[in-house]
Amino acid sequence: MTSPVDALGARAAALDAEHAGSDLRHLFDLPEGVYLAGNSLGALPRAVPVRLEAVMREQWGAEAVSAWNTRGWWHVPRRVGDRIGALVGAGAGQVVAGDSTSVALFQVFRAAARLRPGRRTVVTDPGSFPTDLYVLQGVAADVGWQVVLAEPHEVPAALDAHGEDVALLALSHVDYRTGELWDLEGLTAAAREVGALAAWDLCHSVGAVPVQLDEAGVDLAVGCTYKYLNGGPGSPAFTYVARRHHDAFEPAVRGWHGHAQPFAMRREHEPAPGIDRVRIGTPPLLSMLALEAALEVFDAVPIEVVRERSLSLTSFLLDCLDALVPEVELVTPRAPGRRGSQVSVRHAEAFGIVRALAARGVVGDYREPGIARFGIAAPYVTHSDVLATATELRRVLDTGEHLADVEAEGPVT
Ligand SMILES: Cc1ncc(COP(=O)(O)O)c(C=O)c1O
């Protein structure tokens, strides 16, 4: 009789063969073992160091300041923005790269208040990533909004209750803890029905889940690029502003790169036409050009195929967990349409589990309270990796390695 692990092994091999066309591991320099932290920091695409070396020597080194013109550095935030826009269903000229997600959130929240004057309510998910909550609370205090907390499934009722007083609905497309994928189209439509704006944080969906911002009528969106877009640590964020809002979008931070005539050196700020007004100051060009090289991964397969592979991987991970470690509590929805690209489990010793798995070469991460996350970056994760994760987790729980007194390696969990 074949053991459950042998049967799963045969399935893993068959699924990896079936999805061989979307296996892009050859495009990455991967760490040893099984890397399931691509929802925190994406792996290194091989094109990045090659491009950076060339940029540094041939552009910065050989041309120095001239490269702003000769190499089109001034336009890189737009160029990269359009490339990201293609992954999130945004027509050209509506996405710009730059700054951090936290700064981008501040820009769009402040601008939203100016786009909906007189309305005093903002609705958001209490389970949002902390920076989203902190920035929103700060903006709310400045502009006099009351913050109404509603989980995404409670949002329609909250919008009904506050109606035309709602200026903004601010949500994340995928919950960073549970990996739950929320209904961006439906919730955006609900916000628009009461005349509110919808702003989405796409950090955990961009590069993993196809998004249709234009089609869904989304007003504003932001996202980071160091997770599923593999832009590298601290790579620039992006901001989407729907074209219909461009003229009325008043940037909160009026930097000179967002000026209509930056080199006229005027005393007064005049916002640039279009999405350029969202720009602030000199962008981190090396990071921006590293990101541009990283995005070439998505030339190899369409985002819909990445999603198919991701769903196959996360479904198989659920099967492996059910078969091998049924005692762990799954917090990620089982319905594929309600899942982003990670699988999370809750366990009293989740931190110990994450550390013990890392010692065995399976890298996930830990989030309070008591959640172990396994990020599935489909381009470089395989079904065999997924099975190895469940078998190593079985071994950890059997040996009690997760109960050992583990020291945190540093501030990052
Ligand atoms: C949903 C979400 N928003 C924002 C951030 C981070 O913001 P920043 O890029 O400014 O650090 C994260 C980071 O993990 C996140 O998961």
pLDDT classification of 412: cutoffs 50, 70, 90: confident
Region 365-387: mean pLDDT is 96
Domains contained in the chain, CATH given:
4-30+302-403 (3.90.1150.10), 49-299 (3.40.640.10)
> Is the CB of residue 99 below 6 angstroms from any atom belonging to ligand 1?
no
Q: Is the pLDDT of residue 407 over 80?
A: no
Q: Which atom of ligand 1 is nearest to the CA of 227?
A: 14
Note the pLDDT of residue 68.
97
Note the pLDDT of residue 67.
97
Q: Is the pLDDT of residue 242 over 90?
A: yes
CA atoms of 310 and 331, how far apart (whole Å): 17
Nearest to 167, CA basis, from 113, 108, 109: 113
CA atoms of 325 and 348, how far apart (whole Å): 15
Q: Choosing from 116, 309, 360, 373, which is the catalytic residue? A: 373
Which tokens hold the place of 366?
């830990």
Residue predicted with more confidence, 403 or 259: 259
Report the SS3 class of residue 327. coil
Q: Choosing from 28, 106, 109, 129, which is the catalytic residue? A: 129
Note the pLDDT of residue 410.
81
Note the pLDDT of residue 404.
85
Q: Is the pLDDT of residue 195 over 90?
A: yes
pLDDT classification of 344: cutoffs 50, 70, 90: very high
Mean pLDDT across the chain, nearest whole number?
A: 97
> Is the CB of residue 385 below 6 angstroms from any atom belonging to ligand 1?
no
- pLDDT digit string (tens) for 134-187? 999 999 999 999 999 999 999 999 999 999 999 999 999 999 999 999 999 999
Nearest to 55, CA basis, from 80, 82, 77, 73: 73
Alpha-carbon torsion 108, 110, 116, 120, what sign? Answer: positive
Which tokens hold the place of 291?
């990101």
> Is the CB of residue 222 below 6 angstroms from any atom belonging to ligand 1?
no
Given a contact cutoff of 8 angstroms between Cβ atoms, the answer to whether 378 and 339 are in contact is: no
Q: Is the pLDDT of residue 245 over 80?
A: yes
- pLDDT digit string (tens) for 15-38? 999 999 999 999 999 999 999 999
What are the beta bridge partners of residue 330? 345
Burial of residue 296 (number of CB atoms within 10 Å: 0-12, 13-18, 19+): middle
Percent of the chain with pLDDT over 70: 100
CA atoms of 157 and 153, how far apart (whole Å): 9
Q: Which atom of ligand 1 is nearest to the CA of 226?
A: 9
Q: Is the pTM of this model over 0.85?
A: yes
Note the pLDDT of residue 35.
98
**Spatial CB neighbours of 391, under 8 Å, sequence gap ≥ 6:** 5, 320, 324
Nearest to 319, CA basis, from 37, 22, 7: 7
Which tokens hold the place of 234?
């601290």
Note the pLDDT of residue 413.
75
- pLDDT digit string (tens) for 283-329? 999 999 999 999 999 998 999 999 999 999 999 999 999 999 999 99
CA atoms of 279 and 76, how far apart (whole Å): 11
Mutate to test the pocket of ligand 1, among 128, 201, 203 (most ligand atoms within 8 A of CB): 203
329-330 and 238-241 as β-strands: parallel, antiparallel, unpaired?
unpaired
> Is the CB of residue 102 below 6 angstroms from any atom belonging to ligand 1?
yes
**Spatial CB neighbours of 397, under 8 Å, sequence gap ≥ 6:** 325, 327, 328, 353
Which tokens hold the place of 176?
């960073």
The string of DSSP letters for 167-189 reads EEEEEESB-TTT-BBP-HHHHHH
> Is the CB of residue 413 below 6 angstroms from any atom belonging to ligand 1?
no
28-29 and 44-45 as β-strands: parallel, antiparallel, unpaired?
antiparallel
User: Cα separations (Å) of 234 from 41, 77, 314, 396?
Assistant: 9, 15, 27, 32
Residue 28 has a CB neighbour count (10 Å cut-off) of 22
CA atoms of 234 and 212, how far apart (whole Å): 25
Query: Treating both helix axes as pointing N-terminal to C-terminal, what angle do 383-399 and 4-18 enclose, rounded to 10 degrees?
Result: 150
- pLDDT digit string (tens) for 206-237? 999 999 999 999 999 999 999 999 999 999 99
CA atoms of 125 and 171, how far apart (whole Å): 6
Helices (H), 3-70: 4-18, 47-54, 62-63, 67-70
